[in-house]
Structure 1
């Protein structure tokens, strides 16, 4: 039981790390709020 739980936690951590790396490479996790602020200030 303990080994299965540890393997599951390790797998979940690896998947999360992969998603974060993929998100950074694709620009999905970038903060682009400053672009919207500039757009709103020109109205």
Structure 2
């Protein structure tokens, strides 16, 4: 049981790290709020 949970946790961790790296590489996780400041009317 512990071995299955360990493998599951390791797999989820690797998928998460891969997703974050892919998001940074493609620019998906970059903060681009500064590009839209001049169009923001809520402030």
Length-normalised TM-score, structure 1 = 0.87
Q: TM-score, normalised by structure 2?
A: 0.87
Q: Name the structure with the higher helix share.
A: 1
How far apart in 1 are the matches of 2:5 and 2:35?
44
Following TM superposition, the consecutive aligned residue runs of length 4 or more in structure 1 with deviations greater than 3 angstroms are none
Equivalent pairs counted in the alignment come to 40
Root-mean-square deviation (CA), in Å?
Answer: 1.2
Which runs of no fewer than 5 residues in structure 1 stay unpaired? none
